[in-house]
Chain A
Amino acid sequence: MAAPVSSVGKPSAQRLPFNNTSFQKKTRSKLISIPGTRPSVQNGQLLVSTGVTSLDYLLGGGLAVGTVLLIEDDRYDSYSRMILKYFLAEGVVCRHELFVAAAQDNPDDILQELPAPILDDVAIHKPMEQPRLSCEPQDSLEAMKIAWRYQHLPKVQSALASSSRFGHYYDVSKTMEPEIRQAAKCHRFYLPEHPAQSSPTHSTMLESYSALLKSLQEVINREGFDVAAPMSNSRNILRIGLHSLGSALWGDDLCCHDNPRNGHALTTFLYGLRALLRSSLSVAVLTVPSHLIQDRALMGSITRLCDNAIALESFKGSERETNPLYKDYHGLLHVRQVPHLNCLASKLPDHKDLAFKLKRKQFSIERLHLPPDLSETVSRVSRGELAGASTVASACGSGTSGNKHLDF
């Protein structure tokens, strides 16, 4: 192999490794090995799925690892909670680790309500084939049998291979089976279980937030999610779900007063959270009851400290619920902010008229458009009503030309 110095062999031998390297450059093999992730088409960032396929599409393929998705609650906190559960369920199916923090409900309650995955082609992990802890004593024996070059590959890979695909479908009418749920490693932070410490924390951040930040940092350091940590083969993603941040139960008075005393507590926390996430393999979704926050400027600075921000506006309890224009939908979805991470131009959505609906089994986000006028008599009546909502109708009228459903 090394001997031939012929004039033909030499350039080809040079070209071959060059071709190899240029071909492999984009794949980033070390990152791809994490199940349930994929690199972004635009800037090569590692993405994870939110669990809602249409939301992934809206966010430009998925959530980039190291970023925060802010969801502004709808009025009754039912749909934002659903997205949070989707996000956690996707983590369970992909075997990511979870971190759930809440002040109102026990994190265990949230975990019990996770929607059931529709795993048609995926082998569900039976409790007996949990390879992580149980079969450690046998490892030394097995190590003799397999070829040496496969030794450092994670054992779980074969079991996970089928469910490592990006994004799954869920059936919200059923809850996830306990054995699937318990296979995932989950860290909980329930505020009432954390007694107030009288530690000399610094003044702008509330004790609840600094306790949360501290426990997050502990988990990240202990479980090796830190990017700076020595590379091991079993890298994993930490999914952080923070429920109803900024509500009064967290000890925050953002929602209760016009001039909150702790006006900078949440923003300072978000700054710390961003600092933590940017240096670790983790991704966070947090919900904030923004309709309770009077100060728009404060909400703006909260949004700016998150990377993605969407707002849900449900029709429940509003007159729009009965408006024929919206009869197909359960609420509107506003994209407040798209991420600008590691790239100048971010992927902007094609249009901003978006609505969400909760079908019997599935939550989906669609482009808002007018329902078809099927019967003539009914349409007269509904036209009259639509004229009242002329601003919305005109906004939708421009969008009806090239309709495409968001979900596919």
Chain B
Amino acid sequence: MFTELNSILNTTPDTFTQGEFVLLSDRQSDASFLIHHFLSLYLRARCKVWFLGLVQSFNHYSAINQRLGVSLTQAKEKGQLVFLEGLNESLSVLIPQKAETGSPAMDFLRDPAVGLKSLYEFVRSSVTGSGAADGAEEWGPPVLLVDDLSVLLSLGVSVGAVLDFSHYCRATVCSELQGNVVMLARCDGDGEEDEEDDEGSERLLKGLTHQCSLLLHVQGLPTGYCRDIHGQVEVCWRRRQADGQYTQKKLFQYKVHDKGASFFAPGTSSAVL
């Protein structure tokens, strides 16, 4: 949990807006440090968290959150965290064995054309089914985190299927259960050059930006590589109010440390001043 980001977003573990769909995106940069912020934030806020870790192993997330002061193993044992480790599950599908093992959640690997229905079914059944468990500890609103969506494109799933998945998740978790959804989408294009070229990750980013209520977009510095400033993050709130929708944008530069990240207004890095 990065306290500076919390004050920017005006959230604390005790007070955070419910029913939000947060999109983390990046372009030629790496926004994955933000997913750890949200994971530790919601675990501290005593939410029940579903994490679809598709790109890294559980150990990776566990090691980082240990440094941020949250133990994923404990949260898992307590039942607060449900972790789907995509890498582990995928092996039994990618290397066909005699006995069919593996969770049905990763069925899309077998035939990407089917779409992400099975993955959504996994989310829906475990999110809606969790309330019935009695005798366990009471947890706050459900939170779904996905790291990351663009790897699904690399595995052959179509953009439309991913957008459907995110929409269904938003409808279930945000609207029905008043929980939060955080998704990470990564993009490599230059953005300006290939506008007409309707390429996958670009289209995904546009579609998700349309759906989200809070957008954190990470970019490299426009002036080039710098060792002390790792990039800039654009925070964009999109709120619907009685008199229509209004968006508010703020730009910050950031630097990732060993145990967190610092955010500052452009040009006010301690390396420059």
Contacts and interface: CB of A to CB of B under 8 A. Distances in A.
B265 interface: no
A345 B112 CA distance: 34
A264 B112 contact: yes
* Residue of A43, A305, A340 with most chain B CB atoms under a 10 A cut-off: A340
A267 interface: yes
Nearest to A264: B156
Given A278-B57, A297-B201, A300-B188, A344 B257 contact: yes
Contacts of B202: 297
B90 interface: yes
Interface residues of B, number: 46
B154 A267 contact: yes
Interface string B148-159: 001101111000
Interface stretch (A27-35, A209-217, A235-243, A378-386): A209-217
Contacts of A304: 150-151, 154, 186, 188
Contact of B109 (A202, A305, A345): A202
Contact of A343 (B30, B57, B63, B90): B63
A271 B63 contact: no
B70 to A, nearest CB: 13
A267 B94 CA distance: 12
A272 B95 contact: yes
Nearest to A265: B156
Nearest to B200: A297
Contacts of B12: none
Interface string A273-294: 0111011000000000000000
Contacts of A297: 188-189, 199-202
A113 B94 CA distance: 33
A209 B174 CA distance: 40
Interface in B105-149: 109-113
B94 A264 contact: no
B256 interface: yes
B2 to A, nearest CB: 10
22 contacts: A202-B110, A202-B111, A204-B155, A217-B91, A268-B94, A268-B156, A271-B151, A272-B90, A278-B87, A296-B189, A297-B188, A300-B188, A301-B151, A301-B154, A301-B188, A340-B33, A342-B63, A343-B67, A343-B258, A345-B257, A348-B230, A351-B227
Nearest to B256: A345
B64 A343 contact: yes
A346 B119 CA distance: 31
Contacts of A305: 151, 154
Given A344-B260, A345-B258, A279 B88 contact: yes
A205 interface: yes
A271 B155 contact: yes
Interface in A225-273: 263-264, 267-268, 271-272
B112 A342 contact: no
B81 to A, nearest CB: 18
A271 B87 CA distance: 7
Query: Ordered nearest first, which 3 A-B pairs have the shortest CB separation?
Result: A300-B188, A264-B156, A267-B154
B36 interface: yes
Contacts of A352: 225
Contacts of B200: 297
A401 interface: no
Given A272-B90, A279-B57, A213 B95 contact: yes
B257 to A, nearest CB: 6
Contacts of B36: 344
B260 A203 contact: no
Contacts of A201: 96
A201 B111 CA distance: 10
Contact of B94 (A202, A279, A351): A202
A203 B96 contact: no
Contact of A296 (B109, B151, B188, B261): B188
A137 interface: no
A360 B91 CA distance: 44
Interface in B250-267: 256-261
A278 B91 CA distance: 11
A275 B94 contact: yes
Nearest to B91: A275
Contacts of A274: 87
Contacts of B56: 278, 341
A350 interface: yes
A202 B96 contact: yes
B245 interface: no
Contacts of A198: none
Interface in A341-372: 341-345, 348, 350-352
